[in-house]
Amino acid sequence: MSDKVVHVGDADFDSTVLNSKEPVLVDFWAEWCGPCKMIAPALDELADAYDGRAKIVKVNVDQSRALAAKYHVRSIPYLVVFKDGEKVGEQIGAVGKAQLAGLIDRALA
């Protein structure tokens, strides 16, 4: 597990994600979600690969219901890319590392 993956909740989402200087890939997930666990290793690898250029942040939807409601999380994993406080990309469901990297790359372009 990468120490570069940041876990945030209702209290620190805005300061960590919306106010970030670099793009942020947010993984809305839950402990009981099998596909969420499947993509966790890819997210860890991406956090290391993009260190200093983009952030990987995880939000547990069971612990942060207000955020899940605000961003209309209907199914998980739900991955959203934020840049300059705005949503610039999203992916619903588990996908491979290359597709996740593509989301980040588009935000960096």
Active site residues: 33, 36
Q: Which residues of 30-66 are buried (b: 16+ CB within 10 A; e: fewer)?
A: beebeebeebbebbbebbeebeeebbbbbbbbeebee
Alpha-carbon torsion 103, 104, 108, 109, what sign? negative
> Three-state DSSP class for 28?
strand
**Sheet with 86-92, side-by-side order of all strands:** 5-8, 55-60, 24-29, 78-83, 86-92
